[in-house]
Chain A
Amino acid sequence: MSDQATQAPVKAQSPQAPVKAQSPLSEAWDMFKHNHAAMLGLVLLVIIILGAVFGPYLYPGEPFEMVWAPFTPPGTDGYLLGTDYLGRDLLAQIIHGSRVTLIIGLSAAIVTVVIGVTIGALAGFYRGMVEEALMRFTEFFQVLPTLLFSMVIVALFGASLPMITLAIGIVSWTAVARITRSEFLRIRELEYVMASRASGASNAKLMFKVILPNALPPIIVQSALMVGSAILFEAGLSFLGLTDPNVISWGQIIGSNRQYILESSFTVTIPGLAIFITVLAISLVGDGLNDALNPKLRKR
């Protein structure tokens, strides 16, 4: 039997599917492949990433330069998405903004996962006092209103990209910690873990080599969703103007054009659509991963 995740709180225990002679990864990919929504998300995501990587070379527009009259509607005079309130090319801004949006989303999710997995693993592995203390610590962070707290951090310590990434990571790790802890609590009692413990494996080895690999599926799903919420988070912060003014991001385009929605609404709707589609693609992929990595949910 495979020791895949059992993050199915509301589903009754159903007998697991018979084990095929197939590696877990290719089995998961088979599941994923047949999930139309997840594949759509994956295709969208690949297009967005390719656009962020190669876009600036294919469309060499300067996002900060005034190129045409302000509020030019989309499609006019070769400006596919028109211009913003300062007459800057919106398409160039969107393409350049995608880099910041994706990089911050990804790196904030990494910070989130590193903090969350460390705290959750320690709590679930050692139990007792350590668990008590760490879970109280986690609850403390759940009480802090996330956006407000990161606004405060950015306001006090400066709106550089690393600080924004850190501010997002510091407030978002609690969900990952709780999932990791509950997985560790479950897996540490399994026989194969006891066997390795009996054969003299060190605590570090037990935690990271024996338990963690089997705890990964739900953590991976949660991390995928974390990228989406980090992107929304960054968009919110930069919408409020709490961002590095020298780099362009989608939320910032919306924030700076917001006062002019009477003159032209597309400078707000288009970047918002970009955020929406990106996060949607990530959540579709995340849902697909959840179904693929979570065998107990398969017979829905």
Chain B
Amino acid sequence: MEIIRVIVTRLAYAVALLMAVLVLNFTLIHMAPGDVADTIAQSMGGADEEILDRIRADYGLDQPFLIQLFNYMGRVLSFDLGYSFFYSMPVTELILQRLPATLLLVFSAQILAMIVGVVLGVISARRPNGILSHFVTFFALFGYSAPVFWTGILLLIGFSLNIQWFPVAGMRDVTIEGGFWVHTFDVLRHLVLPVIALSSIFLALYSRLSRATMMETLGSDYVRTAKAKGLSTRSVVYKHALKNALSPVITLAGLQFSAVVSGAVLVETVFSWPGLGTLAFQSIIARDTPTILGILFFSALMVVIGNLLTDFALRAVDPRMRGR
């Protein structure tokens, strides 16, 4: 089966990429001044050379680089990312605790950006000189030029300090009591501003791209044929043209995964969203190297999975992609 062969090669390639990330990770810590032994010694309040050497022997830090590298990769492949001395817990556990919050934020933002972006793009493509079209152009420029953390702070000032519609920070209100729906609604209320802030960057990209492809498609021969057949404009635009305008947007969205993760770090920091981004920020301030590297690995994993999903989504939407 063709499709199985494709899936297997893609997966193998993804695994190879992740291994490369691990090698890079490890090389980076190795090159950086100071090592785990120093960190442990620091958290104990200092230690002499002899104790440092003992710690190094305990953690295998006295072995040659390649052996250490293999040990490290072996551990990571068994989902052991090391131990965080700052949070006093295994890194894997720490990350898995924070991962759902980040996934929720990132996916909501991407979906919002894609839906609103495509809708704006399609509407403005139908009236290239209308008010909405100019609005889209302006909005695209704003989304590209405004620092996302600033957008976040502006939303915060506007909608939770001045007009108190949304909570200032966090993901849930611990004082709220009630059933499942009450809590879900609470999380959604906390989610609104961070999602808007994060999607602002991508919304601009998607609306601009879908406007361009839509204008291109609307001028093409097959759309003219469909119109000549007597189909209504609505059916031509939304059934025939939209399908074709969608696949570049999906491709672009797939390329944005790494940017989304980066944006999430800033947005989470602004809104104290308890995800991987705040964790990354805190562990960098605390110089908690195992946690930082664990997050880097997990984010790369997220990007790789995102790319795989995009690839398969594209195959589903666009028959021309099959067999490649």
Please give the residue numbers on chain A whose beta carbons come within 8 Å of chain B beta carbons, in ascending order. 10-11, 139-140, 142-149, 151-153, 155-157, 228, 232, 235-236, 239-242, 251, 254, 258, 261-262, 265, 268-269, 272, 275-276, 279-280, 283-284
Minimum CB–CB distance from B207 to chain A (whole Å) comes to: 15
Q: A143-B304, A283-B144 known; A152 and B266 CB under 8 Å?
A: no
Chain B residues, CB < 8 A from A283: 141, 144-145
Q: Does B96 contact A (CB under 8 A)?
A: no
Contact A240 B281, beta carbon cutoff 8 Å: yes
CA distance A272 to B280 in the complex (A): 23
Question: At the interface, is chain B mostly helix, strand, loop or mixed?
Answer: helix
Contact A10 B145, beta carbon cutoff 8 Å: no
Q: Does B292 contact A (CB under 8 A)?
A: yes
Contact B17 A143, beta carbon cutoff 8 Å: yes
Chain A residues, CB < 8 A from B285: 241
The one of B255, B258, B284 in contact with A144, judged by C-beta atoms closer than 8 angstroms, is: B258
Q: A152-B293, A240-B281, A262-B161 known; A254 and B28 CB under 8 Å?
A: no
- One of B82-90, B150-158, B178-186, B192-200 contacting the partner: B150-158
Chain A residues, CB < 8 A from B300: 143-145
Q: A276-B145, A283-B141 known; A261 and B269 CB under 8 Å?
A: no
Contact A147 B265, beta carbon cutoff 8 Å: yes
Q: Does B146 contact A (CB under 8 A)?
A: yes
Minimum CB–CB distance from A280 to chain B (whole Å) comes to: 4
Interface size class of B (residues with CB under 8 A): 35 or more
CA distance A228 to B144 in the complex (A): 9
Minimum CB–CB distance from B294 to chain A (whole Å) comes to: 11
Contact A279 B150, beta carbon cutoff 8 Å: no
Contact B150 A275, beta carbon cutoff 8 Å: yes
List 5 other contacts, CB 8 Å, given A142-B258, A242-B284, A275-B147: A11-B216, A148-B262, A157-B33, A280-B145, A283-B141
CA distance A11 to B215 in the complex (A): 10
Contact A157 B157, beta carbon cutoff 8 Å: no
Residues in B276-299 with C-beta less than 8 Å from chain A: 280-281, 284-285, 287, 289, 292-293, 295-296, 299
Contact B146 A276, beta carbon cutoff 8 Å: yes
Minimum CB–CB distance from B74 to chain A (whole Å) comes to: 21
Interface centre among A152, A153, A240 (most CB of B within 10 A): A152
The 6 closest A-B pairs by CB, nearest first: A147-B262, A272-B150, A156-B32, A145-B261, A280-B145, A279-B145
Name the residue on A nearest B288 (C-beta): A155
Q: Does B67 contact A (CB under 8 A)?
A: no
Q: Does B321 contact A (CB under 8 A)?
A: no
Minimum CB–CB distance from B291 to chain A (whole Å) comes to: 11
